[in-house]
Structures are given as C-alpha cells and as structure tokens.
Structure 1
Amino acid sequence: MFKKYVFYTGWLLATLSLSVSAYADNSKVKKSDKNIHGLELTYLPYNSNDHLKCIMTNEANSCSKVNLVKSSNLTKYYSFISPAYGDSVVLPETDDSKQIIVSPFEDNEYEGPQLEISIINAFGLVEQKTISAKKNVVIDKNYNLIYKDGNKEKILKLK
C-alpha cells in the first residue's frame, strides 16, 4: 500500500510515495514488498523460530510471517553469501541505509543450526554476526538483536 504526497515548492511540483506497509507489523507479509535487488522482504519484528519453522515444515501456514529467499538468489547480488546457507530472510533497509540478511546454516552437527546476520552498510562494507539459532533470536522494530545467553538476555544494536 502506498500513500502519495504532493509538494509544491514554487516552480517545482514534486511527488513523494511512501510505503506504509514498511511500518506495519509482520503478521501477514506482503509478497510484493521487495528490496533494491527485487528480493522479497520480511518485516520486523523478526523471530528465528518463525524462520526455522517455515524452513522445516515447508507449509504455507507456517510461512505467513517470513518471506524466504533462496541462497542462489542472494549470491547473485551478495558475494559474501555462501551457497550452502539455507533459505534466508531480507529485512527492510534501516534509516541509515543498512541492509540486513539473516541466513541459517549448520557448520557441524554438534553445534546445531546457526544464524549468520549480515549487515551491509551504504558503502557495501559487510559486518557479520553468528548466533546459535537455539537462542531464540529476535530483531525488534528498532533493529535491536535480542537473544538469550544462558539466563541473561543480550541486546545488540544493528543500526
């Protein structure tokens, strides 16, 4: 859904379209919302349980909160993404133009599933964080990465 705003600045008439769906909660993800590369977005808050459940069950009902993007599609635009990653999610761009991709993978069977959180800044520099998917990872609407480490809740700012 788009809202259109028209501004008149004397000699220039400008039109600005803003996506209001970017601010909606992600209880129902729209398939038409995409990033600059045409990859479908998953809106915040992100929850690793929803992501992994969607991958494991492969049922439409369990994927209502996430849009999965195949690693083969991601590698076309992001060279740091491993083709061995599972289906990922692409989050909306932050206010400071950072792109965030959450990719599951399994390095060895003893550690279990891991999440690679890739943060790409406006200059293309990539910062990556790896967290166990067992820690119920949440990224809230303010781009805070929240997870449990033992009995302590940890919070990291992604933007």
Structure 2
Amino acid sequence: MRLDKTILQRLAVRADVTDYVRIIARAHAGTPLGMGFGKSRFSSPKDKFRLLYLAQDPMTAVAETIVRDRFQGRAERVIFQEEFDRYSVAAVRNPGPLFLLDLRYEGANLLGVSTDAVRTRAQASGRRLSQDIYDPTRRRGIRLRGSQSVRIGR
C-alpha cells in the first residue's frame, strides 16, 4: 500500500512519554523493556522491527494486556487476584518526545486504510499497516484508542 506523505505528516503527533506504563509477566520483570519479534497485531510481518506496547495509565495497560477479549460472550467476568500476581507494572520514560502516527480518530480513514487494521481482532491487516508505515517513513510508533500507544522499535 502506498501511503500519502502529506496525510502521514498531518497525522504525526508529539508524545511526551513520561510515566507511561507497561504490564509484563513477572518472569520478565528483570528486563521490562525487552522486545522481541512477536506476532502481535502490529508486529512486522518481515521481522524488520520490534514493538513496545505502552499505555498512559495502568487501567488501560491492564485492559490491553490482561483483559483484552477474554470476556467476549461471557456472562461471568472475573479475574482472580492470583492472575494479577503473575504480572508486574513497569513505568517507562523517554528522555525526549516521540513522534507517533495518530490513528485514534479519523487517521485510518484519511489514509485509506481499512478500519480492520486498527480496530479488529484479526491481526494480519494491522501487521501489514505497521510494515507499510515503517518501510518508507521509519515512523517511531502509532497512537491508538485515546490512551494506548504503540512504539515501533528497531
């Protein structure tokens, strides 16, 4: 997909990453910023970059990391304390601002990207989108859903 450079520039936002948080498995608490070539919604299908998912607040981090889609179609919505005990919260600060591509509102539509890429459980569209953004621009990340951010690393 060829993305319009003018629209990409218009959607670039400055994000001061101070006191952002990340929920990680307690087993990885010693390396809270560890990133690998995973297979998440915005991972590189070509393994060209790694991801670091961050949230502006703990509630969003819990919703994205622990809760996600697990209660879909279920009447009982319970998470036991023992499950929370398997995770740690890491505070993340970046010394300077990051410039992210803001896809929270009409960004995907302006770029002509299917909303499946940013809003659906299917991950292939999001992976293609992140690769299409990364290849020509080396953009450092994507901002989604109000308070959740994704940083694309190298």
TM-score class normalised by the smaller sequence: under 0.3
- Report the structure, 1 or 2, having the larger helix content: 2
**Using CA pairs below 8 Å that are at least 6 residues apart, which structure has the higher relative contact order?**
2
The structure having more radius of gyration, on CA atoms, is: 1
TM-score (norm 2): 0.23
TM-score (norm 1): 0.23
- Report the structure, 1 or 2, having the larger strand content: 1
